[in-house]
Amino acid sequence: MLEGMKRELSFHPGITLIYRQADANTQKQIKQVKELLQQKIDLLIISPNEAEPLTPVVEEAFTKGIPVIVVDRKISTPLYTAYVGGDNYEVGKTAGQYAVHLLNGKAKIIEVTGLPKSSPAMERSHGFANALKNYPSIQIVRQVNGQWLKQTAESEFSKIANQYPDVDLIFAHNDMMASGIYEVYKNKGITPIPKIIGVDGLPGNGAGMQFVANKLITATLLYPTGGQEAIRTALQILNKEDFKRDNILQTTVIDSTNVRYLQLQANKIGTQQQSIERQQTMLSELKAIYNHQRIFLYILFFLLVVALALVGLIFHYLRVNRKINRKLQWKNNEIVDQKNKLKYRSLNLKKCRRRHRWLMKQK
């Protein structure tokens, strides 16, 4: 689911995803949701580990006005905004119909379930049983609680594997538990290994498609994770657009007849996603370069303005200085002229005194 969410979010860089993994621990998930609510998130997307225990915290978020999208597993309350997920009853029913097709008559089946109180486990089990009800010769002889975990399924199934040497088919509620069942038969050396059906059908290493391609399991039921659809619905809600409250995703059987084609399709999507991520990285780098260049231009423009201002000030001071110099020159010339006049008067005065003394002597 996370990969699908990231794939869709790659087209919406303005959205921040805060992701928490509860590791199938209900109390841990409740604590995580409460912590997220304290962070004042805009919308909550949750895949409840168990329906009943998670109901109060989901209702708390919804009553606080926070839109809630329930993904994959249902909740025991109508107080949520939208649901995105597969039809688990239909998944179980399709698995049962495929099992009937494989078995052709009388057969014994062991069912490896997820958490008994989780809605997917209950609905898949119900759908599987209903698909077999018209075939009384095909019986579910044992149910094993695998809790959705490979290690748990492997541990629990190893306790009873030798008790059912003639079992014809194992239906596991997810692919990881199905692979765990295969490991039990392989490690114990029990042959022949019965047909094994899982659920999820995810691409990539260590997932359902690869298990089918490598013949570890016979088939898997595609269970879309709903990550992309959850993000699209979230954006519709946040943007105040119309949205569907119930978004049911379809399933299909993946076996040896179509697994290669689906793997190629998944690889192509993965390659496209990598290309998108590379382009986003390049765009981020170009944006960073652009921002640096813009800052540099701003600094250069600022320095240019400062330089022009300094030139203007210098020019202004030069003009003022020239005016002051002209005034000083004029004052200096005036002083010199006055000095010359005084000097001339002094000379005339001296001449007058000498003449006066001469006239006095003549008398």
What's the pLDDT band for 140 if we cut at 50, 70, 90? very high
Statement: 2-85 belongs to CATH 3.50.50.60: no
What's the pLDDT band for 348 if we cut at 50, 70, 90? confident
What's the pLDDT band for 321 if we cut at 50, 70, 90? confident
List Cα–Cα distances, 268 to 9, 123, 186, 202, 280, in angstroms: 19, 33, 33, 14, 18
Q: What is the pLDDT of residues 48-93, one digit of tens each?
A: 888 788 899 999 999 999 999 998 877 888 999 999 988 899 999 9
Query: CA 127, CA 108: separation in Å to the nearest integer?
Result: 17
Looking at residue 227, what is its pLDDT? 83
List Cα–Cα distances, 345 to 193, 336, 349, in angstroms: 141, 14, 6
Fold agreement between 2-85 and 86-224+250-268:
yes
Looking at residue 255, what is its pLDDT? 94
How many C-beta atoms lie closer than 10 Å to residue 363's C-beta? 4
- Per-residue pLDDT, averaged over 210-231, amounts to 91
Q: Is the pLDDT of residue 24 over 80?
A: no
Q: Is the pLDDT of residue 310 over 80?
A: yes
- Per-residue pLDDT, averaged over 96-118, amounts to 91
**Closest to 338 measured CA to CA, from 346, 350, 327, 348:** 346
What's the pLDDT band for 320 if we cut at 50, 70, 90? confident
Q: Is the pLDDT of residue 316 over 70?
A: yes
Tell how strand 253-254 and strand 219-222 pair up: antiparallel
Looking at residue 326, what is its pLDDT? 87
Q: Is the pLDDT of residue 110 over 70?
A: yes
Q: Which of 52-56, 166-170, 218-222 has the lowest mean pLDDT?
A: 52-56
Burial status of residue 213 (CB atoms within 10 A of its CB: 0-12, 13-18, 19 or more):
middle
Q: Is residue 140 within 8 Å of residue 132, measured between CB atoms?
A: yes
What's the pLDDT band for 174 if we cut at 50, 70, 90? very high
What's the pLDDT band for 363 if we cut at 50, 70, 90? low
Q: What percent of the chain has pLDDT over 90?
A: 52
Q: Is the pLDDT of residue 277 over 90?
A: no
Average pLDDT, rounded, for the chain = 88
- Per-residue pLDDT, averaged over 127-139, amounts to 94
- Per-residue pLDDT, averaged over 218-226, amounts to 89
Q: Is residue 177 within 8 Å of residue 145, measured between CB atoms?
A: no
Q: Is the pLDDT of residue 2 over 70?
A: no
> What residues pair up with 138 in beta bridges, in sequence order?
107
Contacts of 201 by beta carbon, 8 Å cutoff, 6+ apart? 175, 208, 209, 212, 220, 221, 222, 223, 252, 254, 262
Which residue did the predictor score with more confidence, 117 or 110?
Answer: 110
CA 262-267-269 angle, to 5 degrees, is 95
CB < 8 Å & 24+ apart, contacts of 260-267: 260/213, 262/201, 262/203, 262/209, 263/203, 263/209, 263/210, 263/213, 266/203, 266/204, 266/209, 267/203
CATH class of 86-224+250-268: alpha beta
Q: What percent of the chain has pLDDT over 70?
A: 97
Where exactly are the structural domains of the chain?
A: 2-85, 86-224+250-268
The DSSP code sequence of 182-228 is HHHHHHHT-SSPPEEEEEE---STTSHHHHHHTTSSSEEEE----HH
Q: What is the pLDDT of residues 256-268, one digit of tens each?
A: 999 999 888 878 8
How many C-beta atoms lie closer than 10 Å to residue 248's C-beta? 15
Looking at residue 74, what is its pLDDT? 79
Q: What is the pLDDT of residues 335-347, one digit of tens each?
A: 888 888 888 888 8
Looking at residue 21, what is its pLDDT? 87
207 phi/psi in degrees, rounded to 5: -130, 175
Looking at residue 1, what is its pLDDT? 66
Q: Is residue 92 within 8 Å of residue 124, measured between CB atoms?
A: yes
Looking at residue 122, what is its pLDDT? 92
Q: Is residue 208 within 8 Å of residue 220, measured between CB atoms?
A: yes
**Closest to 189 measured CA to CA, from 161, 168, 217, 156:** 161
Tell how strand 68-71 and strand 107-113 pair up: unpaired
DSSP 282: H
Query: CA 251, CA 123: separation in Å to the nearest integer?
Result: 14
**Closest to 201 measured CA to CA, from 325, 128, 94:** 94
**Closest to 255 measured CA to CA, from 295, 306, 297, 201:** 201
Number of residues in the chain: 363
